[in-house]
Amino acid sequence: MQITAYDHVGLRVVDRARSQAFYESLGFVLDAPHSNERALELVAPGGVRINLILNGETPPDGRNVLMDVDARWPGYTHAAFVVDRLDTLLAWAAARGVAITEGPVDWGRRRTCFLRDPDGNVLEFNELTPEPTAHTLVIGNKNYSSWSMRAWMLLKFAGVPFEEAGVLLYRPGSREAVQRRGGETGLVPVLLAGEHAIWDTLAIFEYVAELNPAVWPRDPLARARARSWCGEVHAGFNQLRAAMPCNVRGRNRRAEITPEVEAEIARAAHIWSQAGGPDGPWLFGAFSGADVMFAPVAARFVTYGVKLEGRAREYHQALIAHPLYREWAALGELEADVIACAESPEAV
């Protein structure tokens, strides 16, 4: 026999509604099919499970018998969880008036703090610090390479340090230069993680999401929808892409708006019209990889003067005002290289 993982932690609680609300505010969701009148099973987006055992009695002095009495009786003392960002947990606790009973303490490879749930159960939270991996992002011209823009913005958003290796595109030997860097297709971007090469933008998105889960929304269904939209951008919008080559510094450029291009503009506007919520103005409330995926589309609409209305227009304005978009655009404007096939004439 080989034990491979923990399945769940069981915590005895007194008040069902109070405890369920507390743990749901931490991101857990009730797993109704596996819950009953005696116990609730809750699961976090990362698959971590807890059982709330509904037979607790309120101690007369409010103390946790295993942690707070002088006699040190054997037993399980606390549940320990791993979080992506401990500072987010600390802000959550401050907003809800939940006391941090110990920490945060930086142990080098992890930062730790402790708090208690409404029944006095001790909870430990850890932010792990992985061994640093050297990352190099192989990209094309910032003014013209929309896929490079996506990978660059995503790494910046996710807080992944990296060095840049630039390749001037549409020149003799440019594909071979990318291949020498590990990109087997000869296309940019390529992310080098140590000695390993990751090519194709969607693969890079998924790798970076392993380093920082904030790349995707927390809710499983929202996460699936975000991936669906990103996959749609990755595989589609070909008519728009052909009619409107990416040219970040270009303005008032002319494009042939065929019915097929018009349909793809309308599709982007329809998706963008669904943006906004209590957590922010973005496609899923908080900024995510889905917003990064649409950033070059937003750039094209600026270059070619595409007019939008309503919430789609508001979203477009928010996206082109995002600091990472503005940083990339400013760097693109500084480039002197010109790719003739991406330089559409100006509109009359």
Tens digits of per-residue pLDDT, 66-108? 788 887 778 778 889 998 889 999 999 999 999 999 999 998 8
Tens of pLDDT along 215-257? Answer: 999 999 999 999 999 999 999 999 999 999 999 999 999 999 9
- Smallest CA-to-CA distance from 241 within 160, 177, 318, 145 is with 145
Side chain identity at residue 75, one-letter code = G
pLDDT tens figures, 286-343: 999 999 999 999 999 999 999 999 999 999 999 999 999 999 999 999 999 999 989 9
Domain boundaries, given as residue ranges, for the chain: 9-128, 135-342
Indicate if 135-342 has the same CATH topology as 9-128: no
Strands (E), the chain: 9-12, 29-30, 39-43, 49-53, 78-82, 100-106, 110-116, 122-128, 135-139, 163-166, 190-193, 196-199
Residue of 287, 309, 302, 114 lying closest to 217 (CA atoms) = 287
Instruction: Please determine, looking at this structure, whether the domain spanning 135-342 carries the CATH number 2.30.30.40.
Output: no
Q: Which CATH number is associated with domain 9-128?
A: 3.10.180.10
Torsion angle of the four alpha carbons 274, 258, 304, 296, in this order, in degrees rounded to the nearest 10: 50
